[in-house]
Amino acid sequence: MLRDSITQAQKDAMKAREKDRLAAIRLILAKIKDRDIELRTATAPGDDDAVIAEVLVKMAKQRRESIQMYEQGGRQELADQEKGELAVIEEFLPAQMSDDEVGAAIESIKAEIGAESIKDMGKVMAALKERYAGQMDFGKASGLVKASFG
């Protein structure tokens, strides 16, 4: 399980006295804990790995945006810190699908649910998020879904 591997990585980082890595892992665990608390009020908790992958994807996206902003602002030391955190986060993310694999997944889901027009885009995106959480960039996938109807 993803949760177990992150916890084990935390223990390993403590033993190895890797301060920066430990700080990044603690950030990940804090975000997961926040998400767990949010889900307590939800009706039925989903697949644990999918929830954790969703948290990791959001964290990675935030780090990428921060890196870009810090580099534009000339704050390389902060960008480097974010890059370090991003590297740790990406260790736990499932392998990302290639554009060809994303396209194949989109076509498969469109055929399965009978999506024929742009009006069905929401259904296609919902199915993609359900099946491929953490495995693709849904911002990019959204554009590919829209283009597939064009």
pLDDT along the chain (150 residues), means of 10: 89 94 93 86 66 84 93 95 92 82 86 82 84 77 81
**Which of 48, 66, 92 delimits the end of a domain?**
92
> φ, ψ for residue 42 (rounded to 5)?
-75, 160
Domain that residue 78 falls in: 2-92
With CA atoms as reference, report the closest residue to 127 among 148, 147, 105.
Answer: 105
> Please, are residues 106 and 128 in contact by the beta-carbon 8 Å criterion?
yes
User: 83 with 112, same domain?
Assistant: no
Token pair listed for 48: 């644990």
Rounded to 5°, the CA angle 47-49-51 comes to: 70
- Tell me the C-alpha distance between 103 and 107, whole Å: 6
User: 66 with 12, same domain?
Assistant: yes
User: 34 with 57, same domain?
Assistant: yes
User: 26 with 86, same domain?
Assistant: yes
Rounded to 5°, the CA angle 42-106-45 comes to: 15
Which pLDDT does position 46 carry in this prediction? Answer: 61
Which pLDDT does position 77 carry in this prediction? Answer: 95
Q: Count the domains in the chain.
A: 2
Rounded to 5°, the CA angle 110-115-121 comes to: 90
